[in-house]
Each structure stands twice: as C-alpha cells, then as structure tokens.
C-alpha cells in the first residue's frame, strides 16, 4: 500500500498525495499541517453545533412533556381517535346515520367534560357521533341516552349520571394514558379486536 495515494481530508482541498508527502493518522490524511489544523477546527465546530442542537431538541421535548394543556389536547385527540375506531362498525350514537355515512365522524361525550371531568377519558362516556349531532344539537342527548339504555342498559346511564371522584391528571399521567390509547388504535387499525372491554361497567 506504500504506493497508494491518500486524499486530503479537508473537503475544500481534496488533494491526492503520496503518504510520505503528507500527514497520515489512521483513516484520515492531510496534504499538510495547515490543512490538518483547518480540518480539525471545522470538525470541532460541527461537533459543537450538533451538541448545541441536540441539547435544544431535548429541552423542547422536556418542556412539552411538562406542558399539561398541550398533553391534555394531544391525549384527547388520541382518545377520540380510539373511540371512532372502537365504534367503526357502528353508526351515530344519537341518530340514524349508518357507519357508511360519508360525513365527518366525531367522538361525542354523553356527560360533557365540563360536567364530568373525571369521565373525559372514559370510553363508557364517549361514543362515535356524527358531526351534525355533535356540533349542532349539543350532542343530541335524548336519543343518545335512549341508545345507551337500549344497548348497554340503564345501569350504565345511572352510573354516568351519578357522582364521580375527580382525579387530577398530571402531564405525565396524560402522556402515559395517550400511550395506551395509541397502542389500542394501532391494534384496532390492524383489524384486531380491542385488547379489553372499554365499555365494561
């Protein structure tokens, strides 16, 4: 290999030279000391830039993880998605729209999140609902209630309307719940049955 030429590691140079004419350190080689120094300075700068960037990404991640309103929003989105998947084969909980309806489907709470915050992420209190019932008739609650009684029994409605102990969920609690909902979504999207009976009283 004594005769094979080496290439200067400094990108802006790239000169090919015989090893004895330059500096060789293992896999790296430079045409001269000047370019070795220039290369080392550029490499150091790159490394520093990367380190600073990584630290910033980590900082944003930690900030977001502790941002409770953000976590609440993200977890709500994922929960709603899970509800629509759980009820994929069902029509609207409040009206006669069949699952084949082409409009937008929402996840509608029976007890609103304001009235029963403890039931915000409880699948027994949330069912697939057409956007019309959800947006324009405040959930169309009378037929909603009747459908719940017909399908799940009066026991569910009595329980939903009863008192519920409020548990204050931290940002970390919310993130952990979201993980569960995401896992269930993936499962349902793959065509598997639910991992558990989310509507079991």
Q: What does the binding site for Zn ion look like in residue numbers (CB under 5 A)?
A: 8, 10, 13, 15, 31, 35, 92, 94-95, 130, 133
What minimum distance in Å lies between the beta carbon of 112 and Zn ion? 17
| In the complex, minimum distance from the CB of residue 1 to Zn ion, in angstroms, rounded to a whole number | 20
Give whichever of 126 and 169 is closer to Zn ion, judged by the CB atom.
126
Long-range CB pairs of 108-115 (<8 Å, 24+ gap) are 108/133, 108/134, 108/139, 108/144, 109/139, 110/139, 110/141, 110/144, 110/145, 110/148, 110/160, 111/160, 111/161, 112/139
Please report how close the Cβ of residue 125 comes to Zn ion at its closest, in angstroms: 17
Closer to Zn ion by CB, 35 or 178: give it. Answer: 35
**What's the rounded Cα separation, in Å, for the pair 82 and 106?**
11
Q: Tell me how far, at minimum, the Cβ of 117 lies from Zn ion, in Å.
A: 24
Measured in residues, the chain has a length of 201
For residues 84-112, one letter each, b for 16 or more C-beta atoms within 10 angstroms of the residue's C-beta and e for the rest, the string is bbbbeeebbbbbebeeeeeeebbbbbbbe
Question: Considering beta carbons, is residue 133 or 185 the nearer one to Zn ion?
Answer: 133
What's the closest the beta carbon of residue 67 comes to Zn ion, in angstroms?
Answer: 34
Positive or negative CA dihedral for 112, 113, 118, 121?
A: positive
Smallest gap from Cβ 40 to Zn ion, in A, equals 13
Identify which of residues 72 and 95 has a Cβ nearer to Zn ion in the complex. Answer: 95
Q: Whose Cβ is closer to Zn ion: residue 71's or residue 134's?
A: 134
Q: How far apart are CA 85 and CA 68, in angstroms?
A: 26
**By C-beta, is 8 or 116 nearer to Zn ion?**
8
């Amino acid at each position: 290999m004594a005769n094979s030429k080496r290439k200067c590691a400094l990108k802006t140079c790239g000169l090919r030279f015989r090893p004895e004419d330059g500096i060789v350190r293992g896999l790296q080689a430079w045409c001269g000391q000047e370019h070795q120094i220039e290369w080392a300075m550029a490499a150091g700068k790159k490394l520093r830039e990367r380190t600073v960037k990584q630290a910033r990404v980590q900082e944003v991640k930690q900030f977001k993880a502790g941002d409770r309103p953000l976590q609440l929003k993200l977890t709500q989105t994922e929960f709603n998605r899970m509800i629509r998947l759980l009820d994929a084969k069902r029509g609207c909980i409040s009206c006669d729209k069949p699952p084949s309806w082409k409009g937008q489907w929402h996840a509608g709470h029976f007890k609103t999140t304001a009235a029963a915050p403890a039931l915000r992420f409880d699948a027994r209190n949330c069912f697939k609902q057409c956007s019309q019932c959800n947006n324009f008739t405040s959930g169309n609650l009378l037929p909603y209630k009747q459908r719940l009684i017909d399908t799940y029994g009066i026991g569910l409605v009595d329980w939903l309307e009863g008192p519920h102990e409020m548990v204050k969920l931290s940002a970390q609690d919310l993130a952990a719940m979201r993980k569960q909902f995401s896992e269930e979504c993936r499962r349902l999207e793959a065509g598997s049955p639910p991992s558990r009976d989310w509507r079991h009283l």
